[in-house]
Amino acid sequence: MTVTIDRATGKRRGDRTPRPGLGRRLKDGYQKHWYAYAMIAPVAVVIGVLVLYPLGYGLYLTLTDANSLNSARTIGVNEIEATYKFVGLDNYADILWGPTAYDRFWSHFIWTIVWTAVCVGLHFFIGLGLALLLNQKLRGRTFYRLVLVLPWAVPTFVTVFGWRFMLADQGIVNSALDWLHLPTPAWLEDTFWQRFSAIMVNTWCGVPFMMVSLLGGLQSIDNSLYEASEMDGANAWQRFRYVTLPGLRSVSSTVVLLGIIWTFNQFAVIFLLFGNTAPDAQILVTWAYQLGFGQQPRDFAQSAAYGILLLAILIVFTSFYRRWLNRNEQQLAN
Amino acid sequence: MSTSTAPTQAPAEQITAPTAPPGKVRRRGERSRAASLASHGVLTVASLVALFPVAWLVYLSLGPDKNDYLHPGRIWSKMTFDNYAFVLQDTNFFDWLKSSLIVSLGTTVIGVLVAATTGYAVSRMRFPGYRKLMWVLLVTQMFPIAVLIVPMYQLLSELQLIDSYFGLILVYCSTAVPYCAWLLKGYFDTIPFEIDEAGRVDGLTPFGTFFRLILPLARPGLAVAGFYSFITAFGEVAFASTFMLSDTKYTFAVGLQSFVSEHDAQRNLMAATAVLVAIPVSAFFYLVQKNLVTGLTAGGTKG
């Protein structure tokens, strides 16, 4: 029942009064595809109302100087009209080039890139290593697998608090380090160690997803490929390089993309680990949230502008990533 | 099975097998004792790392005093379930449970219901605007919360929907609906086209085909989409922390934070609540995780 876009409309044009143009095309399209449109209508409405409309409104807010003091609000019985005004692209200019732009935007930007790269790298390599180990014939394999998935199974907002207890000044981690006569860093206070612990906690949370997906990918690689390569005299490294890695391509390109998007947007870990206490360890998402909701007065316009910038970064990145993947695939095909 | 993973000389020995003494010949897939031990060692360490923070939380939840987390040694001698009793009886635990369930289930039901037909349409039909729709569905999934949170806050406060379950459900639907549509497309793609054709030959309309033939077959896919929406909505922090203001309407993600304020930190109660939340959710997760992974990656690879 696949409906294809064929050229039937063009043929019929001669029979009726020739009326080419948008109206006609819409009408034909409607007759031909009305059930497809009826089926996507619910989602189209939801996306339009809940995503595109707020997005447009947010875009408008970024062009104003809206904050919690001049927005429409109700205090008791008094309704106060919004008094913010249009300022054009000032917010973007201020964020990107304004005074102290480095401290407000670029330092967080760099940290976000580092954070994303390090976290996804660690997720991927630890996940791949564990998946390779779990893919062997091994006693207790199912048990290991179930335990290793635990960080994913428990909600993040629960585990992050567990980590907070552990990393507290005299928590178990520092007690253990002290017992071993190692230095005991201030995990949740010192900027470097804040960043370190954020990456550590996020790595801990994110490895299981990579591990399980990559394990699925490994199990789908045809065993006869390994036999054939062994017959050809490939050693363990060569089999890994020329059979395992290519076999994992489609799975890993997907999970790496998902991982990058999720890590870039990761809110819960940093927000719950530090609250408002760590301005230097905030990635762009949590920083935007701080501007909009974690301070007084709430700077809605700047926060929304950060949001738009973030979305722009992600869209640009994703389209380059997909293009790069497509090109690689074509090269392989040739 | 993958011999490729064993960090040993085993493969080399296999290749030179003829020269090796007969007693030492290994079959494919067998590894030396040392390699086996190494694998077990690494996996055991990794398991401990995965397990410890959670186990520690459980252990701390048994200590009666709010600063016991600094002196874990003392907990052992005075272990008690008092925290649990207190949390269940004297806090808003059940209010939070109610809010969490209302919001998560509401999101799940709306998400799956709204997305089902669309998933089918994009899986089977090619219509003008198809690529644009797919692109929108994809891009919506990578919205950082920072994009929508400010305008949503403003719009919901104009509509008096701040601090209401319905408002939060609407916000969650903005991510759940596109996601479910995407995931269900992946699932519908695995159902053979011949079934649709058979239905059409027997005189069903496209809607009839969908509701009578495909939907019953797609129950596992619907379940995965539902589970995923549920788990995401349940664990969401940013919107819930911002939009829910009264402490009886907190979801767990917000309620848990409320134990630690600037003045007081009731960490023992917090740990107990965390454990009470974690047990059912993790159990639920373990039941569905296998399907979850296939669903998540299928959408991407087939996209």
Cβ B256–A158 below 8 Å, yes or no?
A: yes
Residues sharing a CB contact under 8 Å with residue B250, sequence separation 6 or more, in sequence order: B92, B95, B96, B99, B240, B244, B258
According to the model, what pLDDT value does residue B46 have? 93
Instruction: Specify the length of chain B in residues.
Output: 303
According to the model, what pLDDT value does residue B196 have? 87
Q: Considering only CB atoms, which chain A residues are within 8 Å of B230?
A: none
The answer to whether B67 faces chain A, any CB pair under 8 Å, is no
- Encoding tokens for residue A35? 């059930």
Distance CA A233, CA B148 (A): 56
Boundaries of every domain in chain A: 1-10+19-54, 90-333
In tens, the pLDDT along A251-273 reads 888 889 889 998 999 998 999 88
According to the model, what pLDDT value does residue A184 have? 82
pLDDT at B7 over 50: no
Q: What is the ipTM of this complex?
A: 0.80
In tens, the pLDDT along B223-235 reads 888 888 888 899 8
According to the model, what pLDDT value does residue B182 have? 84
In tens, the pLDDT along A12-40 reads 444 444 545 677 666 766 677 788 888 88
Superfamily of the domain at A90-333: MetI-like (1.10.3720.10)
In tens, the pLDDT along B259-285 reads 877 667 788 888 888 899 888 888 888
The answer to whether A313 faces chain B, any CB pair under 8 Å, is no
Which is more confidently placed, A85 or B132? B132
Q: Considering only CB atoms, which chain B residues are within 8 Å of A144?
A: 43-44, 46-47
According to the model, what pLDDT value does residue A111 have? 93
The answer to whether B69 faces chain A, any CB pair under 8 Å, is yes
- Portion of chain B with pLDDT greater than 90, in percent: 12
A74 DSSP assignment: E
Tell me which residue in A147, A284, A304 faces B150 most closely, judged by beta carbons. A304
Q: Which residues of chain A have pLDDT under 70?
A: 1-21, 24-26, 28-30, 74-77, 332-334
Give B285 to chain A, closest Cα distance, Å.
6
Mean pLDDT of the B250-255 span: 88
Distance CA B6, CA B29 (A): 9
According to the model, what pLDDT value does residue A177 have? 87
According to the model, what pLDDT value does residue B28 have? 58
Cβ B50–A250 below 8 Å, yes or no?
A: no
Instruction: Specify the length of chain A in residues.
Output: 334
In this prediction, residue B18 has a pLDDT band, given cuts at 50, 70 and 90, of very low
pLDDT at B29 over 70: no
Distance CA B140, CA A40 (A): 16
Sign of CA dihedral A184, B70, A286, B49: positive
pLDDT at B2 over 60: no
Superfamily of the domain at B92-255: MetI-like (1.10.3720.10)
The answer to whether B46 faces chain A, any CB pair under 8 Å, is yes
Cβ B53–A36 below 8 Å, yes or no?
A: no
Distance CA A169, CA B211 (A): 59
According to the model, what pLDDT value does residue A123 have? 94
The answer to whether A316 faces chain B, any CB pair under 8 Å, is no
The answer to whether A216 faces chain B, any CB pair under 8 Å, is yes
Boundaries of every domain in chain B: 3-84, 92-255
**Which candidate, A7, A9, A30, A34, places its Cα nearest to that of A20?**
A9
Distance CA B124, CA B135 (A): 17
Helix (H) or strand (E) holding A168: none
Distance CA B109, CA B233 (A): 12
Residue A296's CB is within 10 A of a number of other CB atoms, namely 9
- Portion of chain B with pLDDT greater than 70, in percent: 84
Residue B106's CB is within 10 A of a number of other CB atoms, namely 20
pLDDT at B208 over 70: yes
Give B2-57 as a DSSP string. -GGG--SSHHHHHHTGGGS-GGG---TT---HHHHHHHHHHHHHHHHHHHHHHHHH
According to the model, what pLDDT value does residue A114 have? 94
Q: Considering only CB atoms, which chain A residues are within 8 Å of B29?
A: 136-137
According to the model, what pLDDT value does residue B24 have? 52
Long-range CB contacts (< 8 A, 24+ apart) of B284-289?
B284/B227, B284/B231, B285/A152, B285/A153, B285/B231, B286/A146, B286/A149, B286/A153, B288/B223, B288/B224, B288/B227, B289/A149, B289/A152, B289/A153, B289/A212
- Encoding tokens for residue A223? 């065993």
According to the model, what pLDDT value does residue A2 have? 42
**Which candidate, B211, B210, B232, places its Cα nearest to that of B288?**
B232
SS3 label, residue A64: strand
pLDDT at B68 over 80: no
pLDDT at B90 over 80: yes
Mean pLDDT of the B6-26 span: 46
According to the model, what pLDDT value does residue B186 have? 82
Cβ B127–A303 below 8 Å, yes or no?
A: no
